């Protein structure tokens, strides 16, 4: 089976929450590796940029009409996205550690994982 066929099969079988969890896991792993290897400043940008993009996509989705999430949860996700954007700038500038971003993602992943288990 080719990689393209595998990816197509996975996308048909994967729930949106599972896809979010998988993406967040990949990006969080990249940030954890960057932290483990001691990267600082601009060297962190590839992982941080992907994290910002992901949170921006979450925010955009939550701001769209027709989103099925409760209004309060949507507002919280948008607020977290804004925090991630600001805090990432502080990480790049060396004023804050990347660990806070990792901790946030891991907390969200725990919630997504719990929802996946409850739905099964």
pLDDT digits (tens, 9 = 90+) for 10-67: 556 788 889 999 999 999 999 999 999 999 888 999 999 999 999 999 999 999 999 9
Mean pLDDT of 84-106: 96
Q: Hey, CA dihedral for 50, 54, 56, 57, is it positive or negative? A: positive
C-alpha 16/C-alpha 65 separation (Å) is: 17
Q: pTM of the predicted model, to two decimals?
A: 0.82
For the chain, give the percent of residues with pLDDT over 90. Answer: 76
Higher pLDDT, 7 or 16: 16
Check: CB of residue 76 under 8 Å from CB of residue 104: no
C-alpha 109/C-alpha 101 separation (Å) is: 12
Confidence band of 100 (pLDDT split at 50, 70, 90): very high
pLDDT over 90 at 117, yes or no: no
Q: Compute the mean pLDDT over every residue in the chain, rounded to the nearest whole number.
A: 89
């Amino acid at each position: 089976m080719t990689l393209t066929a595998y990816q197509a099969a996975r996308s048909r079988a994967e729930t949106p929450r599972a896809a979010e969890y998988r993406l967040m896991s990949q990006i969080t792993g990249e940030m954890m590796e960057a932290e483990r290897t001691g990267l600082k400043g601009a060297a962190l940008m590839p992982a941080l940029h992907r994290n910002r993009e992901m949170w921006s996509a979450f925010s955009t989705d939550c701001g769209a009409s027709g989103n099925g999430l409760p209004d309060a949860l949507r507002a919280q996700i948008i607020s977290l996205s804004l925090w991630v954007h600001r805090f990432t700038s502080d990480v790049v500038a060396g004023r804050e550690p990347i660990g806070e971003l990792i901790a946030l993602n891991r907390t969200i992943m725990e919630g997504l994982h719990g929802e996946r288990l409850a739905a099964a």
